Amino acid sequence: MGLGMARSLLRAGLPVWGYDIREDVRQAFSAEGGQPVSGLSDSAALSDLLFIVVVNAAQTEQMLWFGEQGIAARLRPGSVVIACATISAAAARRISGRLAEHQVLMLDAPISGGAVRAEAGELTIMASGPQAAFERAQTALAAVAAKVYRLGEEAGQGSQIKLVNQLLAGVHIAAAAEAMAYGIRQGCDPEALYEVISHSAGNSWMFENRVPHLLAGDYRPRSAVDIFVKDLGLVLDSAQEAVFPLPLTASAHQMFKQASASGLGREDDIAVVKIFPGINLPAAANEEI
């Protein structure tokens, strides 16, 4: 998603420096007019606005690497960090507080929409943070997102709403997988099943978006099984602290954990359907059936 966001910023006419651990991504970024940097410390003083698009809080903090040699210490006072990973509200507050020690503002700004919408500049951003940070980031946010929700001035509010979104997304994907597995096991034609359900009351955005991957036998990760092992785990951890029951989330989390334990963690999240026994799933077009 980070590369898609960088491309959207370039299309908006903004100068963009970028870093990725993968050399092929840095080369692609350079070929399209971006300015790759060879290391994190090289990028710290180049811009007043830093998007961090990684998987979790640990990676976010690793990039910032608080201390004398870290990026946070090298950013100019008044710079804005836009933290896009799905993390807990507590982690967002912790990172924001430590950035404030360096006089750096933060937008707690998790993103939704996947790689396709990132490429199109049509993400949804659930952001909270100081008004000054929103003002300084306004042009860049408009370049990468179709919708930016301003959810208050305190870090953590954006992340908490993203966790609600992930609860629903994970449960809907698990339900879509279970429904398709059940229908196939009962003799339904998978294509017909998708066509009928996607135009009926049982439809959901996730059903409509993910089941075509299943029908094509295409499990390349747009969003991986392990993402929902992590995200639903964050949801359950926060509910545990609040002593709040989430039975559907817990069931979906176990399904994704089973898929991951079966070696499917890096496949597309709809690969959770593979945990169901006794069904013949559609194969990819280039595979022999």
**Active site (catalytic) residues:** 162
Is the distance from CB of 106 to CB of 83 less than 8 angstroms? Answer: yes
Any domain includes 287: no
Residue 242's pLDDT is: 93
Residue 202 sits in a domain whose CATH number is 1.10.1040.10
Is the distance from CB of 160 to CB of 153 less than 8 angstroms? Answer: no
Residue 100 sits in a domain whose CATH number is 3.40.50.720
Model pLDDT for residues 104-161, shown as the tens digit of each residue: 999 999 999 888 899 999 999 999 999 999 999 999 999 999 999 999 999 999 999 9
Model pLDDT for residues 207-253, shown as the tens digit of each residue: 999 999 999 999 999 899 999 999 999 999 999 999 999 999 999 99
> Is a pLDDT exceeding 90 seen at residue 255?
yes
Q: Residue 289's pLDDT band (boundaries 50, 70, 90)? A: very low
Q: For residue 35, what are the domain limits?
A: 2-154
Same domain, 169 and 131: no
Rounded mean pLDDT, 64-91: 86
Distance between CA atoms of 269 and 259, rounded to whole angstroms?
9
Higher pLDDT: 40 or 152? It is 152
One-letter amino acid at 159 equals S
Residue 63's pLDDT is: 86
Distance between CA atoms of 12 and 144, rounded to whole angstroms?
9
Same domain, 6 and 147: yes
Q: Structural domain tally of the chain?
A: 2
The length of the chain in residues reads 289
Same domain, 10 and 137: yes
Model pLDDT for residues 55-69, shown as the tens digit of each residue: 999 999 988 876 555
